[in-house]
Amino acid sequence: MGESRIAGMKLQEKSLAELQREVDAYITQFKEGYFSPLALLARIVEEVGELSREINHQYGEKPKKPDEEENSIEMELGDVLFIVLCFANSLGIDLTEAHDRVMHKFNTRDANRWTKKDTDNP
């Protein structure tokens, strides 16, 4: 894989398959293994709630309290991604394949739904 830059940092890119394997190696080192699908769904909802709270603090009308823990949208998105990877792994779902199928759906169903940018004038 190549490298990318996010917020001025040079990062090694990883494929979805690599991310899934990395999470699987982490989770399977513990006797408990993956949580049940219902527990993972609850975790996703919990993490999305934390992401929502952070977005509301940064872009909404609700400022943080002075004693409130410092979080970031980046970390909250990372938490959501981790749980999604756990969920997919626990159910044997290949997220690269799932992504390809979803992109095909959007590229066919929604092909003319949105106004495309003029490619002649970047």
Quick: pLDDT tens for 90-115. 999 999 999 999 999 999 998 888 88
pLDDT of residue 1: 46
Residue 4 in domain: no
Residue 24 in domain: yes
Nearest of 102, 89, 117, 116 to residue 17 by alpha carbon: 89
In angstroms, the CA 84 to CA 86 distance is 5
Task: Tally the domains of the chain.
Answer: 1
**Going by C-beta distance under 8 Å and a sequence separation of 6 or more, which residues neighbour residue 117?**
none
pLDDT digits (tens, 9 = 90+) for 28-52: 999 999 999 999 999 999 999 999 9
pTM of the model: 0.81
Q: What confidence tier does 81 reach under pLDDT thresholds 50, 70, 90?
A: very high
CATH number for the domain that contains residue 99: 1.10.287.1080
Residue 41 in domain: yes
Residue 117 in domain: no
Residue 61 in domain: yes
The DSSP code for 31 is T
Residue 43 in domain: yes
pLDDT of residue 118: 83
